[in-house]
Amino acid sequence: HRGGEMVYYVGVDVGTASVRAALVTRAGLLQSTAEEPISIWEPQADHYVQSSAEIWEKCCSVVKRVTQHVERSQVRGIGFDATCSLVVLDQSFQPVPVSQDGDRQRNVVMWMDHRAEEQAACITNAGHRVLNRVGGVMSPEMQPPKLLWLKENLKERCWNKAAHFFDLPDFLSWKATGSLTRSLCTLVCKWTYCPPEGWDASFWTSIGLEDLLENNSSKIGSVTCPPGSPLGDGLTREAAADLGLDPGTAVGASLIDAHAGGLGVIGADVKGFLLPCEDQPITTRMAMICGTSTCHMAISEQALFVPGVWGPCLSAMVPGMWLNEGGQSATGRLVSPISSSSEPCILPFTGGNIYSYLNSHLSSMVNDGSAVDLLGSSLHVWPDFHGNRSPLADPTLKGMMIGLSLSQTLDDLALLYLATVQALALGTLHILDAMREAGHDIRTLFLCGGLSKNALFVQIHANATGLPVVLPDQMEAVLIGAAVLGACASQDYSSIQHDWNIGTFEDLKIKCHYSMLYYIILYYIILYYIVLYYFIYTHASFVKQTYCLKSQAESKMIIMIIMNS
């Protein structure tokens, strides 16, 4: 309360397919939430685009909805988080098209857009020192390769007209305040910015984007600040009218959506639950933000370099701490089509939550009280259907399913769903092992995001990693994290506490089961690379002359024979 009046903060989260907002109390409790869908266009394969105008319109709609029952003066601050998508505007801050079709309103290259794989590979092969901060490999999901693609493929239509390149979180804070100050979260994590030195001019010059350095790097940002810092004079009159709030309402520098989730859970109070992290620093915790993709956030007091894992990034999430970010490019996006892939006549499901239904059916398949986990012994999934973000850092990898039969019963669908969830959990274990080898001491997982509401997903992650899992009592941790930014900007910030624990099974049989599955999965990927390189070398003449269909068929056949053996 402030002067006897209840005060609130607004958090706005722009995810892959929707915009959400929450009205949050000073104690960190959700008062109300609202959600609106946003459009995604796929003009060609691996090209995903959106509209910044539509996104802002939906932000205004959800904020008005969550604040309609409180006085404007009660809203002390607002914070934004968003996916790390690339927004392109011209000199007059109007949209610039990012696709061959020339549609000006479609001016956002989405985070999951992989059009720039070739440019990312070229940047990686150049071996510039900035790669040390991104795990040694440039991802096509970062901004430099996307910028390079735009220059090489849309020079007249886009590149020559562009005057401002924003990460989507920074676009939102600019739209709200008129301030061109960029958040350290976005620039450090996705643009190779390195405080306190700033931009590395030799990097941009080496990849042919030296024009971005003109006018003190005005196109990509020359002024930065930590997340949650107050921007400008708060909401402009125009933005305040759009959002239904008072002009001057504090606006905090933004965060990437996953980092907002990390901020919302990683500082949780877990006293009284006998967890290994209870009397340990937050550097023993990993935050997992589980949505369309999953991000694995770990912080440290000293810079730790993890091959295939992004970072270390200073003050990108927690001020004064170094952040390493692992991830899986397709998690919720993978589980959803798997769980709905059956013919309607096979799945006697009439509504409700499909995951709860499949979880219940898996439980009914278990005999003699054994664990559901053990049902997945003969069906294996390699989950990199959209490439591997960490720790292999190979965007060209594809997914695999081993052990399928012609049967298409409900049991088969449930087992495929289980195998997919187990594969994602083992992918998390793979990332954990890479971080531990580099010096992280992670003892507890803190989960948030849509998939964290799936009890099976959570429990299998606990079982596969052998670590306790903590869930927030306020389940919308990403929105809480965004609201914290507004609270910081208003200088009224109070800590957020979460306290729901889910423990691990201490069943030796389950531990042995996941150890076996983990090494089977790693065995598959090693064999994949062995066979791939074998055919590159032994069929070099075919590769140079033409992409021979016969050799392609031979290689696929041999790969599958080896995998199944």
Lowest-pLDDT choice from 39-48, 375-384, 485-494: 485-494
pLDDT at 224 over 90: yes
User: Encoding tokens for residue 314?
Assistant: 């200073």
pLDDT digit string, tens, across residues 139-149: 999 999 999 99
Q: How far apart are the C-alpha atoms of 11 and 431, rounded to whole Å?
A: 30
Question: Smallest Cα–Cα separation from 509: which of 352, 355, 372, 316?
Answer: 372
pLDDT digit string, tens, across residues 274-326: 777 788 888 999 999 998 899 999 999 999 999 999 999 988 888 888 999 99
Distances (CA, A) of 427 to 141, 381, 461, 548: 19, 11, 10, 33
Q: How far apart are the C-alpha atoms of 441 and 39, rounded to whole Å?
A: 41
pLDDT score at 171: 98
pLDDT score at 495: 33
Q: How far apart are the C-alpha atoms of 63 and 43, rounded to whole Å?
A: 30
pLDDT score at 562: 46
φ, ψ of residue 225 in degrees (nearest 5) = -160, 160
pLDDT digit string, tens, across residues 74-94: 999 999 999 999 999 999 999
Give alpha helix (H) positions in 5-116: 52-67
SS3 label, residue 26? coil
pLDDT digit string, tens, across residues 226-271: 999 999 999 999 999 999 999 999 999 999 999 999 988 888 777 8
Residues 99, 121: contact at Cβ < 8 Å? no
Instruction: Provide the CATH topology of domain 274-471.
Output: Nucleotidyltransferase; domain 5 (3.30.420)
User: Hey, CA dihedral for 479, 485, 486, 490, is it positive or negative?
Assistant: positive
pLDDT score at 532: 63
pTM for this model (two decimals): 0.81
Asked whether this chain's domains 8-258 and 274-471 adopt the same fold, the reply is: yes
Residues 382, 525: contact at Cβ < 8 Å? yes
CA angle at 476 for the pair 224 and 472, rounded to the nearest 5°: 105
pLDDT digit string, tens, across residues 468-517: 898 887 778 899 999 999 999 998 864 333 323 344 434 444 556 666 66
Name residue 120's beta-bridge partners. Answer: none
Name residue 3's beta-bridge partners. Answer: none
The phi-psi region of residue 314 (left if phi > 0; otherwise alpha if psi is between -120 and 50; otherwise beta) is beta
* 285-290 and 294-300 beta bridge pairing: antiparallel
φ, ψ of residue 9 in degrees (nearest 5) = -135, 150
Residue ranges per structural domain of the chain: 8-258, 274-471, 517-564
In SS3 terms, 250-311 reads as EEEEEEEHHHHHHHHHCCCCCCCCCCCCCCCCHHHEEEEEECCCEEEEEEECCCCCCCCCEE
160 vs 380, which has greater pLDDT?
Answer: 160
Enter the CATH code of domain 8-258: 3.30.420.40
Spatial strand order in the sheet of 500-502? 310-314, 322-328, 294-300, 285-290, 444-448, 469-471, 500-502
Whole-number percent of the chain with pLDDT over 70: 84
The phi-psi region of residue 221 (left if phi > 0; otherwise alpha if psi is between -120 and 50; otherwise beta) is left
pLDDT score at 143: 98
